[in-house]
Amino acid sequence: MTVEEFFDQVITVRMREDRSSLDIIDQTLLPGTIKRINLNTKEEIWEAIKKLRVRGAPAIGAAAAYGIALLASGIAGDQYDAFYSRFKELKDYLASSRPTAVNLFWALNRMEAAVTANKERDVTAIKELLFEEADKIREEDIQISRGIGEIGFGLLKELKKEGREIGILTHCNAGTLATAKYGTATAPMYIALEKGWPGTAMHVYCDETRPLLQGARLTSFELYNAGITTTLQCDNMASILMKSGKIDIIFVGCDRVARNGDAANKIGTSGVAILAKHYGIPFYVCAPTSTIDMDTLTGDQIPIEMRSPDEVTEMWYKERMAPEGINVYNPAFDVTDHSLITGIITEKGMCHAPYDKAFESLGIGR
Ligand code: MRU
């Protein structure tokens, strides 16, 4: 199977051609089962985001955009005010599914802006253009990932001059399954394949990513299928791996980047960054500009999603692996301090500290 064929098999989110429902790959079943499901109601869309059937910041944004377009198409009546008021209720409902990834709010706000900018048009036309706006968000995401990938590929090319396999570590899944194509943290590797590099030129070490195993279930599945040399390790093995000299560079994704460059990503990312600093390994955050939230000044202001205890005590195990009644701490994200980040790769260019100035000079937030 070529990489393109693989991408086609695992398309994260799309609207069915007849626009009757949202079609997603159910990521909770991967890697064992590749199954697509249809989402029709607001409850189904909300649940799919909440339960991580569709996940990863850009994919959540695309799902929300298609979701609100689908739900808006079912609003009865042709009066703009009534339509807009119901649209906002549905938007707020979808926005309550997950708190950390800013792409969810960004995509929903963009969809709302498409409504208000066209309020002079009739409601049928607005419903139509909402589908078009969602398509645009998805199409743009493909180009954004490519842009990030090209810049990351430049870093890989520099490392290739050393003439040996390039060791890359990543955490969680910021891959094709988290976006419309290419991923963000995986985009440099997919671009390398596109440019004719053999998969053996790179060796990607995937952190398992407890508790939801996105690294094991999703990233290692993706990269292995794409023909890239891939190794899976538990999160607590990253330190010995770095010490052994096997890691040349680290690429991670992000769910929200604050104005000062603090970056929220999957729980465990900040630990990876601290280790990378200790061992002198460059640590890059791959960030579509839609993930940069200039209204959030520092990482302290980023809301961190807390998730259910059973993800830690029971999920994936044959039997419960902790005493009944034990307290469980299960934050889904942590924030990597900007001082630990070598660079933030956006589709518009590479950013270095001071990040607020770097973002402004790329026109982010304007
Ligand atoms: O809880 P998840 O699986 O949605 O978390 C995903 C991540 O943390 C990703 O690294 C991030 O969303 C970037 S995806 C390009």
Residue 91 sits in a domain whose CATH number is 1.20.120.420
For the cut 70, the answer to whether the pLDDT of residue 327 exceeds it is: yes
pLDDT digits (tens, 9 = 90+) for 244-299: 999 999 999 999 999 999 999 999 999 999 999 999 999 999 999 999 999 999 99
What is the CA(52)–ligand 1 centre distance, in A? 10
Among 5-14, 68-77, 333-342, the minimum mean pLDDT is found in: 5-14
Same domain assignment for residues 77 and 208: no
pLDDT digits (tens, 9 = 90+) for 148-187: 999 999 999 999 988 889 999 999 999 999 999 999 999 9
Q: Are 252 and 170 in contact (CB under 8 A)?
A: yes
Whether the CB of 214 sits within 6 Å of ligand 1: yes
Q: 24: which 2 tokens?
A: 């997603």
Compute and round to an integer the Cα radius of gyration of the chain: 20
Whether the CB of 68 sits within 6 Å of ligand 1: no
| pTM: predicted TM-score of the whole model, two decimal places | 0.97
Let me know if residue 228 belongs to a domain: yes
Atom 8 of ligand 1 has which residue's CA nearest to it? 266
Let me know if residue 147 belongs to a domain: no
Distance CA 338, CA 361 (A): 18
User: So what's the pLDDT on residue 163?
Assistant: 85
* Size (the chain), residues: 366
Distance CA 334, CA 269 (A): 7
Same domain assignment for residues 128 and 277: no
Let me know if residue 187 belongs to a domain: yes
Write out the H or E segment, with its range, that includes residue 261.
none
Computed over every residue of the chain, the mean pLDDT equals 97
* CA count, 13 A, side-chain hemisphere, 257: 28
Same domain assignment for residues 123 and 164: no
Atom 6 of ligand 1 has which residue's CA nearest to it? 56
Let me know if residue 315 belongs to a domain: yes
Mean pLDDT along residues 309-326:
97
Closest to 156 in 3D by CA, of 98, 110, 113, 196 = 196
In terms of residue numbers, what domain contains 12?
1-138
Same domain assignment for residues 8 and 71: yes
Same domain assignment for residues 182 and 229: yes
Distance CA 294, CA 287 (A): 13
Whether the CB of 174 sits within 6 Å of ligand 1: yes
* Cis, peptide link before residue 198, omega less than 30° from 0: no
Same domain assignment for residues 88 and 203: no
Let me know if residue 145 belongs to a domain: no
Alpha helices in the chain (DSSP H): 3-9, 42-50, 57-73, 80-95, 102-116, 123-160, 187-194, 214, 220-225, 238-243, 269-279, 310-313, 355-361
Our count of domains for the chain comes to: 2
Same domain assignment for residues 278 and 189: yes
Same domain assignment for residues 11 and 72: yes
* Cα 190–chain centre separation: 16
User: So what's the pLDDT on residue 366?
Assistant: 65
Is 337 a catalytic site residue? no
Mean pLDDT along residues 83-97:
98
Same domain assignment for residues 193 and 71: no
User: So what's the pLDDT on residue 264?
Assistant: 98
* % of residues, the chain, pLDDT over 90: 96
Same domain assignment for residues 129 and 197: no
SS3 content of the chain, % helix, strand, coil (to 5): 45, 15, 40
Residues ≥6 apart with Cβ < 8 Å to 128: none
Let me know if residue 365 belongs to a domain: no
Same domain assignment for residues 92 and 230: no
Q: 202: which 2 tokens?
A: 């790179």
